[in-house]
Amino acid sequence: MVFVPLMFAGLMALRRTPNSSARDSDKMFLRIVTLAPVTLTVLFALISNNRIKDMWGMPMFTSLGLLIVMETGREWSIAMARRAILASSSLIILVGIGFVLHSYFIFGGQVPRTNWPMRALSNEVHSLWRESTNSPLGIIGGMPWLAGLAAVETPLRRHVVIGETLDHSPWITADDIKTKGGLFLFSGAREAAPSLCKGPVNKNILKTQTPDGQPITVFLCLPSS
């Protein structure tokens, strides 16, 4: 998309404009700032065999447009800058419209994260907890995405268990869950409660569903008396 404003500004016109006075040190700085994070991320993904997420590119390529302009080595005229601004503004509007359409129509079979019912999920989860115990809900776990949605839409800071074990959550102990209780959320039907639940367990299927119609199973691991 960065090349669209350049095309509207006029690639042939750029070739006829005078050379810019940009210093080589400035160009090198922009090359490092723009290309080094991308290169290191790709190398790390290859070495660790991890998948790269396309959303990572948004913060990484913020300086790409400036780098391209500087690499052209030309002085931009006012008319060229105006055409580039007009093209960029139009592109921003079109991309915004695309995001709105994507929130209503599912493309590629993957539901956008913005379509998840965060507030309804959080309200129902906390209502179930209040009906089951007088203790405050301080620990939420299960599927990380669902646990995060349930935890973030609250005025109090909750401790989130990443998954259903404590392997990736060193800030929580098994005794914490035993004495304070916890709530675990899973997408789809599930019968067995997490092994961290040592006391009484209440299982519920939420009225709130995932955007693709999957039920959400919640296990309330109540505090041991």
44 CA to centre of own chain: 20
> Does residue 33 sit within a domain?
yes
> Does residue 109 sit within a domain?
no
Claim to verify: residue 44 and residue 119 sit in the same structural domain: no
In this prediction, residue 184 carries a pLDDT of 94
pLDDT per residue over 52-86, tens digit each? 776 676 677 777 777 777 776 666 666 777 777 78
Claim to verify: residue 155 and residue 212 sit in the same structural domain: yes
| 140 Cβ contact partners less than 8 Å away, ≥ 6 residues apart | 125, 147, 150, 151, 158, 159, 160, 161, 182, 183, 184, 185
Claim to verify: residue 125 and residue 87 sit in the same structural domain: no
Q: What is the pTM of this model?
A: 0.61
Q: Which domain holds residue 32?
A: 3-104
> Does residue 202 sit within a domain?
yes
Q: Which segment of 13-17, 25-29, 136-140 scores lowest on mean pLDDT?
A: 13-17
> Does residue 182 sit within a domain?
yes
Claim to verify: residue 191 and residue 215 sit in the same structural domain: yes
Claim to verify: residue 49 and residue 136 sit in the same structural domain: no
Claim to verify: residue 89 and residue 141 sit in the same structural domain: no
SS3 167: coil
> Does residue 39 sit within a domain?
yes
In this prediction, residue 204 carries a pLDDT of 92
In this prediction, residue 16 carries a pLDDT of 56
* Nearest C-alpha neighbor of 91 from the set 178, 7, 29: 7
> Does residue 153 sit within a domain?
yes
Mark which of 104, 131, 147 sits at the end of a domain.
104
Claim to verify: residue 82 and residue 169 sit in the same structural domain: no
Helix H or strand E segment including 79: helix 78-104
pLDDT per residue over 22-52, tens digit each? 677 877 888 888 888 888 888 888 888 877 7
Higher-scoring residue by pLDDT: 107, 128: 128
- Section 166-183 average pLDDT: 90
At residue 185 the predicted structure's pLDDT band, cuts being 50, 70 and 90, is very high
Claim to verify: residue 124 and residue 217 sit in the same structural domain: yes
Mark which of 78, 104, 130 sits at the end of a domain.
104
Higher-scoring residue by pLDDT: 138, 108: 138
Claim to verify: residue 120 and residue 209 sit in the same structural domain: yes
- Section 125-139 average pLDDT: 88
At residue 8 the predicted structure's pLDDT band, cuts being 50, 70 and 90, is low
Claim to verify: residue 59 and residue 134 sit in the same structural domain: no
- How many whole angstroms separate alpha carbon 34 and alpha carbon 52? 17
Total domains present in the chain: 2
E strands, 38-138, in order: none
Strand bridging mode 216-221 / 182-187: antiparallel
Q: Confirm if 9 and 69 have CB atoms less than 8 A apart.
A: no
